[in-house]
Structure 1
Amino acid sequence: MKGVRAVIVPVAVVMCVGGAAVAGQSASPGARSGSGEVLETTKVVAQRLDKAVTLPGDLTPYQAVDIRARVEGFVESIAVDRGTWVKQGQILARLSAPELRAQRAEAEAKLQAVHAQQAEAQARMVSAQSTFDRLKAASSTPGVVAGNDLDIAARTFEAAQAQVDSLMKSGMAAEAGAKAVSELEAYLEIVAPFDGVITERSVHPGSLVGPSAGSMVRIEQVSRLRLTVPVPEAYVGAIMRGTKADFRVSAFPDRTFQGAIARPAYSLDVKTRSMLVELEVANPRLTLAPGMYAEVRWPIARAQTSLFVPATAVVRTSERQFVVRVRNGIAEWVDVRRGEVNGDTVEVFGNLREGDIVVRRGSDEIRPGTPVTTKG
């Protein structure tokens, strides 16, 4: 009997312990589904996205050009230097080109010679025409004029007329050549193409300049500036022309300046995944200067309202991203895409509506179909 008890008692203990474990496992989900979890929830809010992020930017001149001589010559005089303010049309420098003077004299002489030839040919044509007209009138009386003489007079008149036409074309070509030389001489005066400031000067009186040489001076328009900002791809959809953006520069840390979005590039750089956008900046007092680095408070806004939930409501796993919505006391997963963060809330896109109830602190442990007792 003692041997039998020694065997039976351990077996009974094991069976009791195993039964208790099974009972515990089967009771857990039943208890959870029966009473429902008490979770803090919140409503999905619809509002307009209105925020700003800090982006780098560079200030550049509204217009800038390196001025080169259009004809080869020597600098006779130059009236500007670095820092000189100039007006459109103002003479910056004068050049001297002896070759052009010789070309002009040659063109004018050629034109005069053509005009003399034209006068001579015109006289010959008039004489030939008069002879032909007299012979033609006399030929009306039979036997007075030989038929061959009339033909010769006609051919002479036609040749004279053709020579006059040819010289007229030669005269037009000579006039065009003389005009071209005059236009080239006009390039001996270097003028400012727009209002601005001279930022570089690289020549002095006596310097040899020409189309293939380097620039003589550089002029920049700085009363208006361009602020170029590389906008990341995520913010490209919020670009709206005319929107104002504030910015600061290190030279004036206590001041805030403003520009207006004017010219998006409408193309992204494949390396940086950003789009260059130009802002127009008025600079009437010349406080700002090209080359300054700017920190831009870039505005991000949507044309329509967006849905927002607490950032903690969005659950991300290796397979999906979702929020836990509570509908009729039952939990369900709704896949969403994250947008912009606005404070402690995040913009979401998915099958949600304004006023939907979602769990404030989402978790993948809250399985779909789980009964939930909400706590606002």
Structure 2
Amino acid sequence: MLAAVSGCSHPHSDAKSESRHTVVVVRPQRGDIVRSITLPGDLVGLYQSTLYAKVTGYLKTISVDKGDWVKEGQVLAVIEVPELQERLARSRADLEVQHLTYQRLEQVWKSDPRLVARQDVDIAQGKYLEAKAGVDELEAMASYTRIVAPFAGVVTGRFVDPGALIKAGGEQASSAPDQGSTHPSGGTSPVLSLAMIDTMRTYVYAPQDAVGSIRRGMPAKLTLQDLPGRSFDGVVTRYSNSLDLGTRTMLTEIDLKNPRHDLYPGMYANVTLELERHRDAIELPESAIGESPDGKYVMVAEGGKLRRQEVTVGINNGKSAEIVSGLSGTEEVATALDPSIVPDEPVNVVQQKSQPDERPNMIAATP
């Protein structure tokens, strides 16, 4: 009988064990966890300028074309204004006369003040200074007949050819002219457009819920659909400190070094901004965290049973979450919550198999 009883006890025990829930557990991991956001961005040169003429005349020469690299101060085009040169010549002649008149009256007055009134000397001096100012003005206007590069960069547009009438002005056109053809003859004519692309500037518009985290020096990573497999690292350089009333977004700029000129003005990019980083954080899969009216919690396995543990959650990127308080990092936590399991109910505990490349991504990409 003892033998029979002993033989019957093992199947009964196995059946009871099989009736328990099986729970997969994992130990919290430690590492850096990042909250980030991905936004569309527009690339432009660090400096971009459309060059207009200051004086009206005919284009005499233009020495560059689209795609040419230029240096700061390089003469790019020369405008011919014959009437300006004639006015300058007359002004210089008048200046010479006024100068001689003033010098002679000054010498006479110094030799004998009775011969010339001091008032006449002062009037002559005033006419001389007025003539000199006129010459200086015309010389300044004459210098504008040469269009020079304000900075080193690449020519991105050429809108006129030699012989074209260039009208003085500088009012920006309502839309960018077609860079594949000359600019229409009506209105103010731009001559060239220039961009500095050794360093690129990226415009992104941060939404209202992210602007509080934007700061100078914040890391940013750019990816472009046209350049698969490549990424470009930069930092937030400046932001407007003001939200647009229409979109409730804040203009944010990222500067990128572009020594190989792989990036061009007008490109579209996806920009990932690192809003927040916590180092040596305790991390759990997002599925391991439950929520109740009392707050967030996890189920900790101890002695073959599950114990409910209240926790405080920090950064949650949708795959993993930071545990700010409630765990030491040595516990075994259920990877998924089963509503049918009652706390303190016996369960079968199974360790999750760790596989490379299965660690949750630490960077969240928020569209």
Q: Which of residues 81, 85, 94 is equivalent to 1:101? A: 85
Partner of 1:118: 102
Does the 8 A contact of 1:73 with 1:95 survive in 2? Answer: yes
Q: Which of residues 318, 328, 338 is equivalent to 1:354? A: 328
The 5 Å alignment of 1:17-166 reads: 46-50=30-34, 55-129=39-113, 160-166=117-123
> Which deviates further from its counterpart, 43-52 or 109-118?
43-52
1:70 match: secondary structure: coil
1:323 aligns with 2:323: no
Does the 8 A contact of 2:53 with 2:166 survive in 1? Answer: no
1:287 aligns with 2:262: yes
- Report the TM-score, using the length of structure 1 for normalisation: 0.65
Q: Which of residues 189, 194, 200 is equivalent to 1:225? A: 200
Q: Which of residues 136, 152, 162 is equivalent to 1:195? A: 152
- Report the TM-score, using the length of structure 2 for normalisation: 0.66
Shift in Å at residue 51 of structure 1? 7.7
The 5 Å alignment of 1:9-24 reads: none
Counterparts in 2 of 1:363 and 1:107: CA distance versus 1, 3 Å: farther
Aligned residues: 304
Q: What letter matches 1:289 in structure 2?
A: Y
2:317 match: secondary structure: strand
Shift in Å at residue 185 of structure 1? 0.5
Partner of 2:191: 216
Could you give the per-residue CA deviations for residues 109-129 of structure 1, whole angstroms, max 9, x where no partner exists? 331232132134224413433
Partner of 1:339: 315
- Cα distance in 2 for partners of 1:267, 1:66 equals 28
Shift in Å at residue 327 of structure 1? 12
Does the 8 A contact of 1:324 with 1:332 survive in 2? Answer: yes
1:309 match: secondary structure: strand
- Cα distance in 1 for partners of 2:138, 2:99 equals 18
- Cα distance in 2 for partners of 1:268, 1:306 equals 33
Counterparts in 2 of 1:327 and 1:83: CA distance versus 1, 3 Å: closer
Does the 8 A contact of 2:51 with 2:193 survive in 1? Answer: yes
Does the 8 A contact of 1:326 with 1:372 survive in 2? Answer: no
Q: What letter matches 1:279 in structure 2?
A: D
Flag the structure with larger Rg. 1
Counterparts in 2 of 1:340 and 1:331: CA distance versus 1, 3 Å: closer
Q: What letter matches 1:225 in structure 2?
A: M
Instruction: Return 5+ residue gaps in structure 2 as ranges.
Output: 1-20, 171-187, 352-367
Counterparts in 2 of 1:303 and 1:241: CA distance versus 1, 3 Å: farther
1:49 match: secondary structure: strand
Q: CA RMSD in A?
A: 4.0
Partner of 2:224: 248
